[in-house]
Structure 1
Amino acid sequence: MRIVVTLDVMLARRKMRSKQLAELIGITEQNVSLLKSGKVKGVRFETLARICDVLDCQPGDILEFEKDDPEG
């Protein structure tokens, strides 16, 4: 089981670049990049709330739960 970050999809839908999102939510562009790639172990609720506010979305729009394949 894992959580998949689909932030890049939402950014594309909103026609926004990572750099602009980073500036609006107050984190570095590098941290946005790490979040987009799923290379982070967690995200603060405060940061998630800021992202959702700026992108006018819900957490479920940028985070997905993926079950392990029981046969894999």
Structure 2
Amino acid sequence: MAATRFEIEKFNGVTNFNLWEIQMIAILVQTSLKKVGTEKKLKNLHQTEWEELDEKALSTIQLCLANAVLHEVLTKKTSSAL
């Protein structure tokens, strides 16, 4: 199975945040992680499963941030906090 790759410009604090946010949400939708990043824990998931999905969503968002911006949010440990 081939992996689909999405490329967006990393958010650097100067680029248009609204456009970046739309693209980031689209990536989270395509990777089935949108609900994790935008909602509280889903009741039908075990805590461990939720934490694994949240970790994936967090890392997906982190990879789309420029280093200077990422440095500012290093302490955020969940996708919703980020």
Query: Larger strand proportion, structure 1 or 2?
Result: 1
Structure 1 length as normaliser, TM-score? Answer: 0.36
- TM-score relative to the length of structure 2: 0.34
Which structure is richer in relative contact order (CA contacts within 8 A, separation 6 or more)? 1
